[in-house]
């Protein structure tokens, strides 16, 4: 049996780890079946516990943008490890990566490192609230900003309403400070500002949404958010945990030409080690401890192993002028190939893509927000996912996730993927 060993390992894991996994999407709940247990990975390939090989389209959900076990990153980690792995004291390495990151990111001149994207976003809203002395935030339905309480909020009955907790354990008190709007819908944001003109500390947004499949912002959407924030004295937070160091050196801010007040990072930034960060202008960052009163801290923040991995990753990305356009053209190749395969077939679909983020939704409607993303045919997606998996193509195990291409994928690998899709389509 193809997944025998994974299945055994999964059963074992479930005895000691809730659901057998340390992050829910890994459990294959939405697509069914047995999660694949990985043994190792190199370049574009994953190798599982049963000896199966896969072309990887999730890249650890983004970080492995240059492929797995990328040598300069691995070498940096090994070299650094010999000198000690944590001190709880500052190192010159932290300044070095901070300077390089700030050179790559537009509009910002200070950056604080943390250990995950969740922490970065959680800290960013505290910074925004402390700076503006306001309490409410606006987030968009279907955007994910990590699992801290303020973000685990979904809509109540009305389209624009107070949020209600989307997880037990999140208090109503927390939920009442998170206002919700539909992605790509400026009118809703505008009416929230009308309703609470002096209470909104910040808007937090994925400048290109990647947690409901890939959904690019409509023309003028981000610019509109920028103007509303300026008009009402609120801060604009770009959650670039996914898009940062992936869409361009300077992330979505650079690619789409809209400036945020605070930007959060993670994923690629850590080169595969646990790293997050938030960046802002000095006028805002001066309020953060120890310069100012807004508290934020971390025993392992700026950890030398993580910083050396991140630095090696940023150096590789910064020195390759073609990396982001190459990734985009590989992804475009995949998009064109998939569309060829689907041409004339009676399978409604929409493919959204921006740069090296892409996803397919099996629906007739254009996918512009959570509601339209949710119209996708789940049953068809599951057959597609498992068909591709059996072909040795590892895709995100949920229609609500973007694919992340990595530069180790060759055009031949992508052709192979398209051919696999051709076989799988006949079962859809």
Ligand X SMILES: *Cc1c(COP(=O)(O)O)cnc(C)c1O
Q: Which residues are catalytic?
A: 144, 239, 267
Query: Least Å distance between CB 184 and ligand X?
Result: 16
Q: What sign has the CA pseudo-torsion 414, 416, 418, 420?
A: negative
Q: Which positions from 151 to 190 touch ligand X by CB under 6 A, shown as an x/- string?
A: ----------------------------------------
Whether the Cβ atoms of residue 301 and residue 278 lie closer than 8 Å to each other: no
Extract the tokens encoding 414: 């992508």
Query: Least Å distance between CB 105 and ligand X?
Result: 16
For residues 404 and 385, give the distance between their C-alpha atoms in angstroms, rounded to a whole number. 15
Of 52 and 60, the one with the shorter C-beta distance to ligand X is 60
Query: Least Å distance between CB 267 and ligand X?
Result: 6
Which residue's Cβ lies closest to ligand X?
117
Of 114 and 316, the one with the shorter C-beta distance to ligand X is 114
Please state, as a whole number, how many other Cβ atoms lie within 10 Å of the Cβ of residue 168.
Answer: 6
DSSP string, 212-260: SS-BPPPTTHHHHHHHHHHHHTPEEEEE-TTTBTTTBTTHHHHHHT---
Stretch that binds ligand X, among 112-120, 278-286, 293-301, 339-347 (CB under 6 A): 112-120
Whether the Cβ atoms of residue 223 and residue 255 lie closer than 8 Å to each other: no
Identify the residue among 211, 234, 406, 417 touching ligand X (CB under 6 A): 211
- Give burial (CB, 10 Å; 0-12/13-18/19+) of 398: buried
Q: Is the peptide bond before 297 cis (omega within 30 degrees of 0)?
A: no
DSSP state of 301: T
Of 276 and 387, the one with the shorter C-beta distance to ligand X is 276
CA distances from 323 to 205, 301, 356, 380 (A): 25, 28, 11, 34
Of 210 and 355, the one with the shorter C-beta distance to ligand X is 210
For residues 219 and 222, give the distance between their C-alpha atoms in angstroms, rounded to a whole number. 8
Identify the residue among 43, 210, 224, 310 touching ligand X (CB under 6 A): 210
Identify the residue among 182, 206, 254, 413 touching ligand X (CB under 6 A): 206
Whether the Cβ atoms of residue 153 and residue 180 lie closer than 8 Å to each other: yes
For residues 17 and 4, give the distance between their C-alpha atoms in angstroms, rounded to a whole number. 20
Side-chain-side CA neighbours of residue 160 (13 Å): 16
Beta strands 200-205 and 178-181, pairing class: unpaired
Q: Does 121 bind ligand X (CB under 6 A)?
A: yes
For residues 129 and 133, give the distance between their C-alpha atoms in angstroms, rounded to a whole number. 5
Packing angle, helices 323-342 and 411-425, rounded to 10: 20
Query: Least Å distance between CB 152 and ligand X?
Result: 12
Of 122 and 229, the one with the shorter C-beta distance to ligand X is 122
Q: Which positions from 235 to 274 touch ligand X by CB under 6 A, shown as an x/- string?
A: ----x-xx-----------------------x--------
Q: Does 398 bind ligand X (CB under 6 A)?
A: no
Query: Least Å distance between CB 130 and ligand X?
Result: 20
Q: Which positions from 307 to 326 touch ligand X by CB under 6 A, shown as an x/- string?
A: --------------------
Query: Least Å distance between CB 121 and ligand X?
Result: 5
Q: Does 144 bind ligand X (CB under 6 A)?
A: yes
Q: Per-residue b/e over 222-236, b at no fewer than 16 CB within 10 Å?
A: bebbbebbeebebbb
Of 34 and 178, the one with the shorter C-beta distance to ligand X is 178
Query: Least Å distance between CB 240 and ligand X?
Result: 8
Identify the residue among 7, 107, 116, 131 touching ligand X (CB under 6 A): 116
Q: How many residues bind ligand X (CB under 6 A)?
A: 15
Of 123 and 132, the one with the shorter C-beta distance to ligand X is 123
Identify the residue among 126, 139, 141, 145 touching ligand X (CB under 6 A): 145
Of 59 and 418, the one with the shorter C-beta distance to ligand X is 59
Q: Does 369 bind ligand X (CB under 6 A)?
A: no
Question: What number of H helices and E strands is found in the chain?
Answer: 14, 16
Query: Least Å distance between CB 117 and ligand X?
Result: 2
Stretch that binds ligand X, among 111-119, 313-321, 339-347, 378-386 (CB under 6 A): 111-119
Q: Does 401 bind ligand X (CB under 6 A)?
A: no
The site for ligand X (CB under 6 A) is made up of 116-118, 121, 144-146, 206, 210-211, 239, 241-242, 266, 276
């Amino acid at each position: 049996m193809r997944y025998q060993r994974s299945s055994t390992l999964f059963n074992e894991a479930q005895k000691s780890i809730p659901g057998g996994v340390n992050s829910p999407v890994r459990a294959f709940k939405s697509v069914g079946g047995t999660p694949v247990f990985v043994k190792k990975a190199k370049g574009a390939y994953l190798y599982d516990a049963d000896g199966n090989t896969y072309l990887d389209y999730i890249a650890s959900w983004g970080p492995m943008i240059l492929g797995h076990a990328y040598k300069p990153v691995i070498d940096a980690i090994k070299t650094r490890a010999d000198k000690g792995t944590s001190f709880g004291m500052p190192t010159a390495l932290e300044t070095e990566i901070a300077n390089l990151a700030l050179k790559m990111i537009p509009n910002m001149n200070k950056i604080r490192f943390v250990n995950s994207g969740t922490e970065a976003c959680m800290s960013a809203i505290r910074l925004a609230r402390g700076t503006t002395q306001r309490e409410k935030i606006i987030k968009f339905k279907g955007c994910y900003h990590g699992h801290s309480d303020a973000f685990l909020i979904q809509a109540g009955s009305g389209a624009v309403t107070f949020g209600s907790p989307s997880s037990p354990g999140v208090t109503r008190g927390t939920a009442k400070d998170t206002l919700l709007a539909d992605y790509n819908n400026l009118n809703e944001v505008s009416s929230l500002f009308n309703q609470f003109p002096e209470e909104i500390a910040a808007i937090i947004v994925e400048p290109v949404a990647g947690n409901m499949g890939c959904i690019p912002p409509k023309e003028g959407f981000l610019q509109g958010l920028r103007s509303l924030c300026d008009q009402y004295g609120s801060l604009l937070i770009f959650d670039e945990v996914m898009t940062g160091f992936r869409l361009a050196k300077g992330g979505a801010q650079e690619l789409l030409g809209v400036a945020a007040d605070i930007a959060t990072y993670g994923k690629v930034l850590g080169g595969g080690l646990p790293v997050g960060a938030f960046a802002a202008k000095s006028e805002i960052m001066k309020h953060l401890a120890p310069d100012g009163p807004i508290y934020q801290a971390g025993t392992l923040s700026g950890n030398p192993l993580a910083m050396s991995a991140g630095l090696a990753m940023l150096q590789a990305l910064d020195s390759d002028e073609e990396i982001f356009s190459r990734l985009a053209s590989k992804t475009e190749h995949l998009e064109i190939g998939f569309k060829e395969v689907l041409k004339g077939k009676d399978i409604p679909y929409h493919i959204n893509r921006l740069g090296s983020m892409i996803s397919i939704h099996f629906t007739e409607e254009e996918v512009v927000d959570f509601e339209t993303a949710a119209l996708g045919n789940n049953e068809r997606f599951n057959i597609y996912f498992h068909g591709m998996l059996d072909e040795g193509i590892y895709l995100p195990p949920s229609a609500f996730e973007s694919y992340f291409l990595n530069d180790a994928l060759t055009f031949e690998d992508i052709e192979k993927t398209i051919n696999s899709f051709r076989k799988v389509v006949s079962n859809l």
